[in-house]
Amino acid sequence: MLPRSRHRLDRAKWLEYARGAYAVPANPLPPRVRTRRPSDLLTKDYKVDKSTVEVKSKTSNGVAFTSTGNKSADGKPSGSLAAKYEFAGGITSEMTLNTGGSVEASLEGSPMKDLTVTLDCTRPAPPATGLLSAAKCTLDYKKESFTAKAAYDFYPGVLACAGSYVYDVFTLGCSADYSSTKAKLTKYGAACQFVQPDFSIIAKYGGAAGKPATYTGMYYHKVSSDMQIGAELAHTKGTDPSTDLKLAFGCMYKLDKDTTAKAKVDADGNLYTSYKQKLSPLATMTLAAQIDTTHVTENKHKFGMVLNVTP
């Protein structure tokens, strides 16, 4: 049996996980338990059809800058510059300027123990009019075995609520979205995870108004200190399981302390691979590829590169 302290949740992910915002569910485990993150195994480091360079730096007065440049497969460039600063009292502010002209701002603080309040807003890019195009307030309450999160998006008028609870080796969570403009429930979901020292099993149910529900199961196994494997199975209610069953299987192998190789294959015949290496204490590079094995001779393959530099 695992000690209760090892079951602390990644609360920021639970809302997205239960709502089904990702094709592969996010993991409710704590960030520090990095070896048991199924979502990382099947989704992270597979960015294709785009090349990205990210540079992080920090000034002597504590301002952290993150500059990002992207180039898509069609040659279109884009980028952003973000500045982050922590004021006295634990209040953190962040502002991001995108090449499209939009500006994003965020303010985060903790008015009381275990409670975090986050305010986010976005100013639209020209020639759009209006002071803001998006604004959201998020309340996140965290305890050792229980969490609750509520977020209200002002412009669409959507209230999203989620909660999670840890009991022994089980983690349970549920969420719901309510639209004030439509006066009805628009999304709902529930998730459960069973955790053991070397493997974990996740089950998820998610649905939305006017759409069939989706059932998802995921299995993760840490074979050794160098190798991990995982699988995901998803089915949408009302469809034919013989033709519309989503299946993905992936593995990760640590070649050495600075190099990691990953591979994933899904039921659509797509093969994903990635190679991540720490080039120096300051730079890390990731190469990724997506191969359509059902049309090998056609030009449907995708490639990507990410370079992270942190002086």
> pLDDT per residue over 12-23, tens digit each?
343 333 333 322
pLDDT surpassing 80 at residue 187:
yes
Number of domains in the chain: 1
The model's confidence at residue 197, banded by pLDDT at 50, 70 and 90, is confident
The model's confidence at residue 6, banded by pLDDT at 50, 70 and 90, is very low
| pLDDT at residue number 140 | 95
- Mean pLDDT estimate for the chain: 85
Q: What does the alpha-carbon distance between residue 109 and residue 131 come to, in Å, rounded to a whole number?
A: 24
List strand residue ranges (DSSP E) for 124-224, in order. 134-142, 146-153, 158-167, 170-179, 184-195, 199-208, 211-222
Residues whose CB is less than 8 angstroms from the CB of residue 44 and which lie 6 or more positions away in sequence, other chains included: none
Query: Across residues 76-87, what is the average pLDDT?
Result: 95
CA distances from 170 to 93, 192, 207 (A): 35, 7, 22
| pLDDT at residue number 242 | 65
When mean pLDDT is compared across 11-15, 176-180, 248-252, the lowest value belongs to 11-15
Query: Across residues 144-167, what is the average pLDDT?
Result: 94
Query: Across residues 25-30, what is the average pLDDT?
Result: 36
The model's confidence at residue 27, banded by pLDDT at 50, 70 and 90, is very low
Query: Across residues 109-124, what is the average pLDDT?
Result: 94
* Residue given tokens 């549920």 in the structure block: 174
Instruction: Supply the CATH number for residue 268's domain.
Output: 2.40.160.10
The model's confidence at residue 43, banded by pLDDT at 50, 70 and 90, is confident
Tens of pLDDT, residue by residue over 256-274, are 999 999 999 998 899 999 9
The model's confidence at residue 51, banded by pLDDT at 50, 70 and 90, is very high
Q: Quick one: DSSP state of residue 4? A: G
Q: How far apart are the first and last CA of the chain?
A: 41
Specify the 3-state DSSP secondary structure of 260: strand
Q: Which domain holds residue 280?
A: 4-309
